[in-house]
A and B are shown apart, each in its own frame.
Chain A
Amino acid sequence: MKHSTLLGICTLAASMLAASSAFAQDASPASSRTLETVKSRGTLICGVIGTSPGFSLPDSQGVMRGIDADQCRAVAAATLGDAEKVQWVLLAPQQRFTALQSGEVDVLFANVTWTMTRESQLGLQFPSIYYYDGQAFMVKKALGVNSALELDGASICMLTGGTSELTVQEYFSANNMTYTPVVLSEGEEARAAFLADRCDVYTIDSSSLAGFKASQGEAGEDFVILPERMTAEPLGGVVRKGDERWFDIVRWTHYTLVNAEILGIESGNVESFMDSEDPRIRRFLGMEGELGATLGLSNDFSKTVISQVGNFGEVWARNVVGVDRGYNNVWTKGGLQYAPPFR
């Protein structure tokens, strides 16, 4: 009896040791471990918000739609050759970093604003900016408010877990105004509270406001997004630090989308470029050189991405409704989206 207890304790201790040494191994940086994991698993695990119209929201068929969703698809196409091999993990704003840090997801496309502390303190890295955004206010037209400076005394619905609480506070104290915060943890709840008139104002990134407005159909006409942008919110994909190769892959997948738009290559016409004489295009599509192979991908990964997901303009047009492209256009058309040379 006693011996078996002792034996049990020993076994337990041994298994703990084994388990913790496995944890310890996990901590050691190894190059492109994420890519190996993704390849052997056969799917890309992508963290998205999942309730964010225009970014990631399932449609009536249950298919995840939005810019974030298509960024995930592009990475899956680049790494696995199939844009549909994505496993979605839905994350509330305050869970998303923990999920990435702990390895629960391979990459995060979840309306994340690129900030300094997120890179310097959280062990995260931002390979790309796929949306130049800014936090804005939305009010009901009936209030007759035309500027954010008229919002003194308003109740404001906002989401916890992101930067919006802090941004509102900074904006209001800078302009010597007061407000009542109504801070909710889920986008659906915050929007429901705004619709029920619990607050006068709903604040989040202007892109999400536009998505929400569009999702309301006719009723969306009753809302107005105020012109002020309180912050610059560059939304980026996020990966863990310590896997530089994986960082490269996510970054250059985004540049593939942008470069394709700049070169005029679309999902519909990519085949017609296959006999192009232009060395830029030949390199880009993997007919010349070893660009894809240097990332540990197939040499024609960009062709796969473009034919399955489209270029950046297609992704935008498919998902963003009612927002002027502005900064988010490619640089050749006056925007900020720019791809370094594929050479």
Chain B
Amino acid sequence: MRSASKSNRRPIAGAADLRSLALQAALVLGIVALAWFLIDTTLANLRARGITTGFAFLFRPINMPIAHSWLEFVPGIHTYARALLIGILNTLTVSFIVIVAATVAGTLIGIARLSPNWLLARVCGAYVEMIRNVPVLLQLVFWYQMLLQLPSPRNAITVVEGLYISNRGIRYPTLIEAQGGGLALGAFALGCAVLVALVYLRNRFGSERLKSRSFLPAGVLLLAIGPAAVLYLSGTRISPDVPELRGFNFVGGSSLAPELSALVIGLSIYASAFVAEIVRAGILGVPKGQWEAAESLGLSRVKTLRKIVLPQALRIIVPPLTSEYLGITKNSSLAVAVGYPDLVAIVNTMISDTGQAVEGIAIIMAAFLTISLAVSALMNWYNRSVALVTR
């Protein structure tokens, strides 16, 4: 009797499973078929209209100028692929600077908005409301136009001798070395790595007494002496490169172009308003009892924030902050409006040079998808490390 009822039930469950499986398989098949169809139709249409397809152009040299680049780029010799890499690096640069700046500024503003000081709280409230309700493209163009209103190089503002501000950007002195500069930089990087490893080892395995001791003096010593010793031993001579006005513009030193400045200022201010709201929500999300308990222990407001509230608020803050960071990365593509050579701007030139728009857009999409997924993965990893661990 029992076994009969069991054998009766099983086929029913099996049929339901099978049906849902078949349905899902049909759906997946449908999507794959749709994608295949669209791609195939596109290719057929491009062929029919005599439009060249494929990514072969990536390995041909391109003769475009790039205003801002971390890598050496010689137009006419280097390839489209290298220009693309420079575009991606420029996009990452802007995104990184803006993420750091917006996080710092946004956190301060978010905390200040909850301050018992009436004026401070209201000013920060007004800032957030004003900034986040004006389209970001408009803000970028506004900042760019503002920076262009600065005096021309011949009438540049001299902050100190060697540091000039004009509508061509901020010109500052740099150091140039005859040789061995790379070695010094390497020594500095190595010093940093050793320091980070030491701090990690101390926190992980060190005794309580060791943990309470600061590594700061030792760290500074390590970071200063290491590169200095390398420079001395390799016989490098470093000389300052101070900008001076010659011909059209300043020559020498290094400069921060107004295009990059406008982009960084505009995006940072815009994103900081959103970060401020996320931080405020996080802080308000911590139960009031935590504040009261801290107060009854005699902790100051700042200490309560730092030691009690913010660590708990972080759990609430991190997930929405992740989407904000993704937003920043994607908004960096507005660079094209203010003439900064980010990925989109460079691909735009490629498209007009090769006419292969479909490939160009596909490259932009793939690059942004990769960057966004990486940011997301990084933040998810961080989220796990701050999340409440239930045992």
Contacts and interface: CB of A to CB of B under 8 A. Distances in A.
Interface of A: 2, 5-6, 9, 12-13, 16-17, 20, 23-24, 26-29, 93-94, 97-98, 101, 117-118, 121-123, 143, 152-155, 160-162, 165-166, 168-170, 173, 179-185, 189, 192-193, 196-198, 200, 240-242
B70 to A, nearest CB: 16
A160 B152 contact: no
A292 B41 CA distance: 37
Nearest to B349: A160
Contacts of A28: 48
Nearest to B49: A123
A289 B168 CA distance: 64
Nearest to A93: B352
A29 B353 CA distance: 26
Contact of A153 (B64, B65, B248, B341): B248
B45 A155 contact: no
B251 interface: yes
B23 A23 contact: no
Contacts of A26: 45
A155 B249 contact: yes
A20 B259 CA distance: 43
B345 A183 contact: yes
Given A94-B351, A169-B64, A198-B258, A183 B341 contact: yes
Interface in B207-257: 246-249, 251
Contacts of A242: 48-50
Given A6-B23, A24-B44, A185-B337, A166 B259 contact: no
Given A161-B352, A197-B167, 9 more contacts: A29-B48, A123-B50, A155-B168, A160-B345, A160-B349, A166-B64, A182-B339, A193-B148, A196-B167
Contacts of B63: 166, 169-170
A173 B76 contact: yes
A121 B52 contact: yes
Nearest to B149: A196
Given A20-B41, A160-B348, A198-B168, A153 B247 contact: yes
Nearest to A185: B336
B48 A27 contact: yes
A179 B65 CA distance: 9
Dominant SS at the B interface?
helix
B50 A13 contact: no
Given A27-B44, A193-B148, A196-B167, A155 B248 contact: yes
Nearest to B250: A153
Given A160-B348, A166-B353, A182 B76 contact: no
B19 interface: yes
B145 interface: yes
B330 to A, nearest CB: 18
Contacts of B246: 153
Given A2-B23, A166-B353, A169-B76, A182 B248 contact: no
Contact of A13 (B23, B33, B168, B352): B33
17 contacts: A12-B30, A20-B41, A24-B41, A26-B45, A93-B352, A101-B51, A123-B50, A153-B248, A169-B76, A179-B65, A181-B66, A182-B339, A183-B65, A185-B345, A189-B337, A196-B149, A196-B167
Interface in B159-173: 167-168
Name the 4 nearest CB pairs between A and B, nearest first: A123-B49, A196-B148, A27-B48, A122-B355
A5 B258 contact: no
B65 A161 contact: no
B100 interface: no
Contacts of B338: 184
A179 B248 CA distance: 10
A197 B45 contact: no
A196 B355 CA distance: 32
Interface string B22-44: 01001100100110011001001
B290 interface: no
A55 to B, nearest CB: 18
Given A2-B19, A183-B345, A97 B30 contact: no
Contacts of B46: 123
B179 interface: no
Nearest to B51: A123
B56 to A, nearest CB: 11
A13 B50 CA distance: 29
B76 A20 contact: no
Nearest to A196: B148
A94 B348 contact: yes
Nearest to A23: B41
B182 interface: no
A198 B166 CA distance: 9
Contact of B349 (A165, A173, A198, A200): A165
Q: Of A23, A28, A97, A183, which is in contact with the most chain B CB atoms at under 10 Å from its CB?
A: A183
Contacts of A240: 49
Contacts of A179: 65
B41 A152 contact: no
A68 to B, nearest CB: 18
Contact of B355 (A27, A118, A143): A118
Given A9-B27, A20-B41, A155-B249, A181 B19 contact: no
B300 to A, nearest CB: 49
Given A166-B64, A189-B339, A117 B76 contact: no
B357 interface: yes
Nearest to B255: A180
A29 B45 CA distance: 10
A324 B348 CA distance: 34
